[in-house]
A = this chain, B = another copy of it.
Amino acid sequence: MSVLLNFAMFPTDKGPSVSEYVSRVIEMIDKSGITYKLTAMGTIIETDTLPEALAIVQKAYDILGPVSERIYSTINLDIRKNKSGRLVQKVQSVEQKIGKVNT
């Protein structure tokens, strides 16, 4: 099974710049050893099970919650059976279809 979870989580009481807070979450993900991809709009992780993916959301909150009055998060899940490695393969598949590599 391949669980792709795309998420952004940020405090809404810290003014317009929140990269300091976001960085702590990314650092946690990076140290966790999980497969992930950082984007300009959030982080995409790929896990074998849904509990593993939701645990990352919980850990992100455990970092931001203690320092914030209010937290907002947006999450998308794409869960597919009998697949793996989709974090890389989905992009490659589309790039092949359109005959272009976007870097």
Residues of A that sit less than 8 Å from B by CB: 4, 6, 8-10, 12-13, 15-16, 18-20, 22-23, 26-27, 30, 36-42, 44, 46, 50-51, 54, 57-58, 61, 65, 69-82, 86-91, 93-95, 97-98, 100, 102
Contact = CB atoms under 8 A, between A and B. Distances in A.
Please report whether the interface of chain A is mostly helix, strand, loop or mixed according to DSSP: mixed
Copies in the complex: 4
B76 A70 contact: no
A25 to B, nearest CB: 9
Given A26-B97, A74-B77, 7 more contacts: A39-B39, A40-B44, A40-B89, A61-B79, A70-B78, A72-B77, A72-B78
Given A39-B6, A69-B80, A90-B19, A26 B58 contact: no
